[in-house]
Amino acid sequence: MKLLTGSYDNGSTVNDENAILLSFQSQSRAVYQQERHELNIPYGDSAREVFDWFYSAKEFQGTLIFLHGGYWQFCNKEDFAFIAQSPLSLGFDVVLVEYTLAPAATLADICRQVGVALDVIEQRVKLRGSKPVYLSGHSAGGHLAAFWQHHPCVQAVFPISGIFELAPLLATDVNRQLQLTAQQIEALSPARHAPLSLKPMWLFYGTAELPELIGQSLYYYAALQELGLPVSRYAVPEANHFNILERLFAADGALCRQLLNYEETSDAHNY
């Protein structure tokens, strides 16, 4: 299939993007107040090379790593702690990873930082026991999750409304700070580097999102499926680029169901 070009302005799909972010922040502050966590665990030398670790009070089932979005140039990990509440209640630790934002960092820098973060998380998670580690990310974080699907600590990957082919961003406002180069587009677009062996992957997107964003997931799905790799897709009915997180991370949401059913579904993928 052919990718669509367009503005990639996700705010155009909702009435008040700022109000939504404020709501996310308010919900997230409550999670920090209510749940046991470690704040700003360093994985590198710079101020944003840190992650927060939330510990489930239930019997330990595994670890969910979450990479936030914001087109690699906006938002903070603390804005998205609200996604942790349901996984914690199901027995999953949740790790929120931070990274340096563009233009202070190039996309190549950001990808490298996430890889280092996963290395450090891998060592720490071993102390929690032999349970699965899942990697998820939203929007730009979906790109980063797909980029790092091969990391040895990861058992399954859940990109949400991700960017998998970077070329369509060149003519958009998104690229004003990123300043993508042809070399970066080639090296850092997951759709151009389908692995020989893929961890089980579920691609999530909302039916009320921009056609450009839906197209990114469908394009990546088709590329992986054509190679016979273990990929599934799930369209969240009437979800936009923002409330898709609340839908997926609800206690009965599709992503939380995948966490609980991982062993069964991974066998179905022959992984």
> Hey, where are the domains in the chain?
27-268
Rounded Cα–Cα distance for residues 202 and 254 (Å)? 10
Alpha-carbon distance of 232 to 203, in angstroms, equals 6
CA pseudo-torsion sign 216, 211, 252, 233: negative
Per-residue pLDDT of the chain (271 residues; tens, 9 = 90+): 567 677 899 999 888 989 999 999 999 999 999 999 999 999 999 999 999 999 999 999 999 999 999 999 999 999 999 999 999 999 999 999 999 999 999 999 999 999 999 999 999 998 888 899 999 999 999 999 999 999 999 999 999 999 999 999 999 999 999 999 999 999 999 999 988 889 999 999 999 999 999 999 999 999 999 999 999 999 999 999 999 999 999 999 999 999 988 754 443 333 3
Residue 238 has a CB neighbour count (10 Å cut-off) of 11
Walk across the sheet containing 92-97 and list its strands: 37-42, 50-54, 92-97, 62-67, 133-138, 156-160, 201-206, 231-236
Residue length of the chain: 271
Q: Are 22 and 250 in contact (CB under 8 A)?
A: no
CATH number (1.10.3720.10, 1.10.260.40, 3.40.50.300, 3.40.50.1820) of 27-268 reads: 3.40.50.1820
3-class SS string, 66-122: EECCCCCCCCCHHHHHHHHHHHHHCCEEEEEECCCCCCCCCHHHHHHHHHHHHHHHH
Tokens of 9: 């302005």
